[in-house]
Amino acid sequence: MRTDHLAGTSIPRFTYDTPSSPGNDFFDLCGGEKPLVMIFLPAFDHPITRAYITRYVQSLKDLKGIKLACVVRSSPQHVAQTLEGRDLPFTLICDRPGVLYNFMGVETAGLLNWSFEAQRILRSAQAKNQPYDRKAPQLLPLTLVVGPEGAILFTHYGRNLTDMPGDCGAIYTLCDEVCELTRRAQAQAAEEDSAPAKPKPKASPHSDETLTLPDLAGDLSEEEDAIGKLFD
């Protein structure tokens, strides 16, 4: 299920686990002046995940204060065992049940969505005897830019397995552009609020009334309940 309409709404408050720390508050993570970038990846052992997390670690200095959280479909215990006590320099949200993935409408794809870069990464993994199910549906990436209290500033649903920022420099550039557009929108809204109201044209008695459709975001109460129970 695609949920592009969630841009402009908010992610409900929830708690999440990392490999080294359970029960963290999401609003603490996304609070502050700097935005948070969330990148949804497959399981931690997946070759695509390993490749991109390695790129983010190697280019970390290019984040320039932007907060990064990668979401993986693995348990915190499994990731902690794989890391052997080491910590990553950014947040790793472990969502083995896929609650966040379902809430945000992350999609799966088959072979037709394999980019050349994905094929290169997977061939390299195969040459190193790294296990993965080539025929299974593959999770497509999702990139979010999130502000305080879970406000969704930007969403990008990947069209192929590697359609996401390639390194921390690309993450910083994305955030810079999103923040600039947000500032312009806020300034324009403030200007419109301060301008004198224009008189409304008199409605024609013969014109048809236009109905306004309900907000496409709809009632997310069920999803909020599910995400609130994340890793309870």
pLDDT band, residue 136 (cuts 50/70/90): confident
Average pLDDT score over residue span 100-119: 83
In a domain, 38, yes or no: yes
Mean pLDDT value across residues 134-158: 90
Residue 215 is assigned to a structural domain of this protein: no
Distance, in Å, from the CA atom of 129 to the CA atom of 138, rounded to the nearest integer, reads: 19
Between CA 73 and CA 96 the distance in angstroms is: 4
CATH code for position 31 = 3.40.30.10
pLDDT, one tens digit per residue, over 157-183 is 999 999 999 999 999 999 999 988 888
- Residue 230 included in any domain: no
pTM confidence score: 0.77
Let me know if residue 10 belongs to a domain: yes
Least-confidence region, from 113-127, 131-145, 197-211: 197-211
The reply to whether 39 falls in a domain is yes
Q: Specify the range with the lowest mean pLDDT, choosing from 19-28, 195-204, 221-230.
A: 221-230
> Is 17 a domain residue?
yes
Residue 197 included in any domain: no
Which structural domain range is residue 102 located in?
Answer: 4-191
- Render pLDDT for 15-68 as a digit per residue (tens, 0 to 9): 999 999 999 999 999 999 999 999 999 999 999 999 999 999 999 999 998 999
pLDDT of residue 122: 86
- CB-side exposure of 103: number of CA atoms within 13 Å? 24
Distance CA 206, CA 146 (A): 46
Least confident segment among 37-41, 121-125, 139-143, 167-171: 121-125
> What pLDDT does residue 109 have?
80
In the chain, how many domains are there? 1
pLDDT for res 88: 95
Note whether residue 226 is domain-resident: no
